[in-house]
Structure 1
Amino acid sequence: MPKKEQLFELIRSNPFISQQDLATQLGLSRSAVANYIATLVRERRILGRAYVLPDHRPVLCIGAANLDRKLRTLGPLSLGTSNPARQAESFGGVARNIAENLVRLGAPAALITAVGGDASGRSLLAHADEAGIDTRGALRIDGAASGTYTAVLDHDGEMRVALADMAINDALTPDFFASREQQRAGAALIVADLNLPHDAVAALLEGARNDGVPMVVVAVSEPKIERLPQELYGLRLLILNEGELAARVGRKLANNADIARACEQLRKDGVQDVIVTRGAAGVSFTIPGGLSTLPPPRVNIVDVTGAGDAFAAAVVWSLYEGETDLARACRRGLELSAMTISCEQTVCTQPDFSRLDGFHEPLLTN
């Protein structure tokens, strides 16, 4: 086989391989490897410095992957005393959940996260690999504990309190992401959650803007909204809930008009579009000149864990598929979220595609 074709097959099997490794394996000089790569780029068989095959550009999910523990009381929750409960464990983390939802929806997904060298970390990556998520860009830290998320659910499936140990994600620094520049530049779309440090989110946004890669940020909690940079130029979409939106703008949001003004403030900060999840009130999203709202579908609540991540994943999937109608993307998000709430798993393993175009008409509220 000619050297150029051997090089192409090595890149196909490992898109993140360095030019030095290619040179060593093929017995070539670095300059010869660079010439072959330049030829493949001109032939459009790979896409530039990222060595990404044109039909394999993934959605790159960046953020938390952790072990979820869910404790569900057998009766109404009573504070200050012991409550009979049953426990379940599963794999979670906002970025990881979004990535798994995406591959189950048929989109290629890659995950950059940090895990410890413990059994939980090994299991997290093995499960992701088995699901079809590319984890080659993950950071593995020996001697560190992988992230955990413990949720206490009432007997009706509603979350009453959650405890998260996500300190390992502080290792996802701008310097680390510089080592994954090829992978980031070759993504079709980047999704980052706010379990990342502030400086890392800012660096990712700058890189996405420079590389021309659309980026979506998903908020995770009110305290962590401070990790969102003040300047958001180049950000395609921000997904957050009412409490996180209020924390970002620094004031209470009493009605739809307040929410609309807060979203407009975010747009002035640079973000193109904003989606605000509002629980029983549905979801609001920016449109030219204002805000539109969709009511949620009726749902039988089994377990609310993972519902927000499912919503975000369906919206991201819509963007990946080329959908330009944010209302339709939100309809899909509401439907996948409802499917997730109706099952015991954090990620709906068999999404009903016939439901993903929704059935709600957007209601202009401001």
Structure 2
Amino acid sequence: MTEPPKKEQLYELIRANPFISQQDLASRLGLSRSAVANYIATLVRERRILGRAYVLPDQRPILCIGASNLDRKLRSTGKLVLGTSNPASQDESFGGVARNIAENLARLGTPVALVTAVGSDASGRALLAHAEEAGVDTRGALRLDGVGSGTYTAVLDQDGEMVVALADMALNDRLTPDFLATRQQQRANAALIVADLNLPSESVAALREDALRDGVPLVLVAVSEPKMARLPRQLRGLRLLILNQGELAARVGHALESDAAVGAACADLQAQGVQDVIVTRGARGVMYTSPAGLMRLDAPAVKVVDVTGAGDAFAAAVCWSLHSGEADLGLACRRGLQLSSMTIECEQTVCPALDPGQLESLNESVLD
């Protein structure tokens, strides 16, 4: 049988991986980079492709990189007593820090893509299908055969406050620097990259180095105190770090018992290279860096239904502001607190009532 023409082989490679680089195409097909570029130009003229996953400048997406998993929430129906069995109700939903941020952004009407790892099980297929239905581009996801998708199990007390959580996130260790290199074109075309610290240390370091080299702003979102060890010592190239006070304490290696101590810890991080830091403090609001020093915002009063996903909603609103060109980090944080409050007051991990029109009303409320 005659081998298909090089142009058709190239077309099939692009169909299989819309984010494959020209260098990879050249190597796979035994062609020069200039020959690959000519074939791509021909395919664009023929309207068979639109430039491999390239998008127009005003449509450049936010790219979220990190965990997707199945959330299981067990809520005690009475006062929680440790060391014995407690009556509880159970709920399952889709979660994962990067996935949650991506869904929030999609519901806000923002172009967003997700690079994550899922298994070949029903949970993995459902995770990606749900994200796609919400408007998230999942073509860059890593799909792994023979393994189960990640899970996160939270135990909540009768008031909806988390008591303990157990996370099976080993699947994210497969999001290695080598894998991320296969998504280089997708990362280069992003307007903003948001990554969570479920990624391996080497991958976080690689994203920071690429941000420094390519100039694509990078936001890192912490996920737990133990995983703060995955944050590089050198933070130059990092636009923003979002973490809670316990995670900040884990980074600096000592307790933070006053606002002044939090401010000093943030200054230490800035000395290590990060441009800005946001410290979330639950019901006490947030603190954030500014040219005038460390600033503080109180959290709105809310009726707590379920706190799961509140921090991810906050991060999404902040990233939405950065993507929109907002230079005022204080306004971004006020939007984050509003969106976080909405999430706390609903049962779902991502508030289903959120939409672009809702965001406009949030913008008006925070400017009052």
TM-score computed with the length of structure 1 as normaliser:
0.88
- State the match for 2:238 in structure 1: 235
Could you tell me which residue of structure 2 aligns to residue 167 of structure 1? 170
Corresponding residue for 1:118? 121
Q: CA 1:207/1:64 → structure 2, altered by over 3 Å: closer, same or farther?
A: same
Pick closer, same or farther for the CA change 1:298–1:13 going to 2, 3 Å: farther
- Secondary structure of residue in 2 paired with 1:331: helix
- Aligned partners of 1:285 and 1:358: how far apart in 2? 20
Alignment match of 2:279 (pick from 276, 279, 289): 276
**Could you tell me which residue of structure 2 aligns to residue 91 of structure 1?**
94
Alignment-derived partner of residue 350 in structure 2? 347
CA contact (8 A) 1:15 1:52 kept: no
Q: Mean alpha-carbon deviation: is it higher for 233-242 or for 346-355?
A: 346-355
Tell me whether 114-123 or 348-357 shows the greater mean CA deviation. 348-357
Report the counterpart of residue 298 of structure 2 in structure 1. Answer: 295
Secondary structure of the equivalent of 1:72?
strand
| Separation of aligned partners in 2, 1:48 and 1:202 | 29
- Deviation, 1:31, is 4.0
SS of the residue corresponding to residue 243 of structure 2 reads: strand
1:196 aligns with 2:199: yes
- Give the total of aligned pairs: 347
Identity %: 73
**CA offset at residue 210 of structure 1?**
1.1
Whole-angstrom CA distance in 1 between matches of 2:34 and 2:121: 41
SS for the counterpart of 1:346 is coil
Aligned-partner Cα distance in 2 for 1:302–1:349: 14
Kindly provide the amino acid, as one letter, of the partner of residue 355 in structure 1. Answer: L
Cα distance, 1:16 vs structure 2? 2.2
Aligned residue in 2 for 1:154 = 157
Alignment of 1:24-103 (within 5 A): 31-35=34-38, 51-103=54-106
Q: Which amino acid aligns with 2:142?
A: L
**Deviation (angstroms), 1:76:** 1.1
Please give the per-residue CA displacement for 1:312-333, whole angstroms capped at 9, x wherever unaligned: 0000000001100000000000
Deviation at 1:50, TM superposition (A): 7.1
Any conservation in 1 of the 2:19–2:52 contact (CA below 8 Å)?
no
The code of the aligned residue for 2:162 comes to M
Structure 1 partner of 2:225: 222
**Alignment pair present for 1:322 and 2:325:** yes
Most deviating of 200-209 and 327-336: 200-209
Which moves more between the two structures, 201-210 or 89-98? 201-210
RMSD: 2.9
Change (3 A) 1:73 1:240: same
SS at match of 1:244: helix
TM-score when scaled to structure 2?
0.87
Q: Secondary structure at the match of 2:136?
A: coil
Instruction: Give, as a single letter, the amino acid of the residue that structure 2 aligns with 1:203.
Output: A
Matched residue SS, 2:70:
strand
Give the Å deviation of 1:37.
5.3
Whole-angstrom distance in 2 between the partners of 1:33 and 1:73: 60
Matching residue's letter, 2:244: N
Specify every segment of 5 or more residues in structure 2 that has no aligned partner in the other structure, as ranges. 1-6
Contact 1:49 1:182 (C-alpha < 8 Å) held by counterparts? no
- Verify the 8 A CA contact 1:19 1:30 in the aligned structure 2: yes
Q: 1:101 to 1:68 in 2, by over 3 A?
A: same
Aligned partner of 1:185 in structure 2 is 188
Match of 1:265 among 264, 268, 281: 268
